[in-house]
Amino acid sequence: MSKYKLILPSIVGIVALSLVGCQSADGDQKSKESESEGSAAVTIVDGRGKDVVLEDGYAKNFVLFPNEGTEVFSITQSTEPFLGMRKSDQDSNIAGGVVAKYYPELLEVNSNIVDAEGDMPNVEEVLTMAPDVVYQWKSREASIKPLEDVGIDVVALNWGTYEDDIERYTLYGKALGMQDRVETVFAHHDKTKQAVLKVTENLTEEEQQNHVFVSHMNENQINVWGTELPHTAVHKVENVAYTKGNITDTGADINAETLLEWNPDMIVIGEWASDITPDFFYNHPVLKNLTAVKEKRVYKSPTASLLDNPGISWYFYASLANPDKFKDFDMRKQVRDDYKLLYNVDVTEEDIDKILNVEENKNSKYFEMFMQ
């Protein structure tokens, strides 16, 4: 008999907006097999602290609501377990990218998991897929309950800190019974992290740099990310929207005058912001007065996930902030190694240029260290 209950006609409009775009890597705390003799059930302690019991054992497939398809793919290295994912993830994060070049089947995964507006989960469709588990953001409680009400197992996930990243990636792997794979990736991360921290933890106050992360622009409004940002603790390039602006969310609009007041050392543009480039800042009649613009220290961020592929971003920030301290570092080798381990891809030099957004960044100071 199916574990799913009959769906009620009234179950329709539920919010399921995925966020862009980590507590513990300690598996003992976050996943445990049932000790009942003869039971195949597995219990996962999710981001809510809730026991999610997978009665038939580790999940063989899933539906993914967060826009983190490539991140989960770095664990599975196969699209076979993917039953459903968001169209916005396929279109905005995967299509046209290097991973899609080698694994176009990611773009063919069923994306009919939300309604036409993209805000409500299509519970009926998810039921038809009969997933072993569904991944959803903890913050989207309204979209979790109707899924659980019909008997679908949901693992809720957190975002916002580096610890949340570690927890979330661990939970992706735990539910699939792929703990060993997660630990392999974490070991690779740690090697890179320690190499970066060896430099950044010893920076003097004068050597420490700051930045503003720009998500998008709307006429005269500049949308910036506040909060400490998950990986600042590694690369140490502080986020002045948080430290000076006291902004505590990832979507705050400011005006040019505020940015001029903050006057950051660096400006980093989200790689998804297709209409904003460093040259946009260099040619802007007002923003050209920023120190970062005058010094041509405006950069488009790499198309690399901070969840499964943080090493590229760690080095990106740390090297551009203090290039003399990373002059012997080979970013292009880092990209080759990361993509081979995570996605089993042997990237070309053209692929690396695309990942690092070389065309957009070629006129920016210090960026030549990342170029062919």
pLDDT tens digits, one per residue of 17-56: 333 333 344 444 444 444 434 458 999 999 999 999 999 9
Instruction: Give 251 or 11, the one with higher predicted confidence.
Output: 251
In this predicted structure, what is the pLDDT of residue 74?
Answer: 98
User: Which range (183-192, 247-256, 356-365) has the least confidence?
Assistant: 247-256
Please report which confidence band the pLDDT of residue 229 belongs to, taking 50, 70 and 90 as the band edges.
confident
Instruction: Give 10 or 78, the one with higher predicted confidence.
Output: 78
In this predicted structure, what is the pLDDT of residue 210?
Answer: 97
pLDDT digits (tens, 9 = 90+) for 206-226: 999 999 999 998 878 999 999
Residue ranges in 20-68 assigned as alpha helix (H): 27-30
Average pLDDT over the chain, rounded to whole? 89
In this predicted structure, what is the pLDDT of residue 37?
Answer: 42
Please report which confidence band the pLDDT of residue 324 belongs to, taking 50, 70 and 90 as the band edges.
very high
Distances (CA, A) of 363 to 255, 280, 314, 333, 367: 25, 12, 21, 22, 8
Q: What sign does the dihedral 51-54-58-61 (CA atoms) show?
A: negative
Tally of residues, the chain: 372
Please report which confidence band the pLDDT of residue 8 belongs to, taking 50, 70 and 90 as the band edges.
very low
pLDDT digits (tens, 9 = 90+) for 98-156: 999 999 999 999 999 998 766 778 999 999 999 999 999 999 898 999 999 999 999 99
What is the SS3 assignment for 221?
strand
Which residues contact residue 299 at a Cβ distance below 8 angstroms, ignoring those fewer than 6 apart? 266, 267, 268, 269, 278, 316, 320, 361, 364, 367
In this predicted structure, what is the pLDDT of residue 1?
Answer: 38
What is the SS3 assignment for 354?
helix
pLDDT digits (tens, 9 = 90+) for 59-108: 999 999 999 999 999 999 999 999 999 999 999 899 999 999 999 999 99
pLDDT digits (tens, 9 = 90+) for 164-190: 999 999 999 999 999 999 999 999 999
- Of the chain, the percentage scoring pLDDT greater than 70 comes to 89
In this predicted structure, what is the pLDDT of residue 20?
Answer: 34
- Of the chain, the percentage scoring pLDDT greater than 90 comes to 79
In this predicted structure, what is the pLDDT of residue 10?
Answer: 37
Domains of the chain: 27-177 (3.40.50.1980), 189-370 (3.40.50.1980)
In this predicted structure, what is the pLDDT of residue 144?
Answer: 94
Say if residue 198 is exposed, middle or buried (CB neighbours under 10 Å; 0-12, 13-18, 19+): exposed
Please report which confidence band the pLDDT of residue 261 belongs to, taking 50, 70 and 90 as the band edges.
very high
**Does the structure show a pLDDT above 70 at 7?**
no
In this predicted structure, what is the pLDDT of residue 161?
Answer: 87
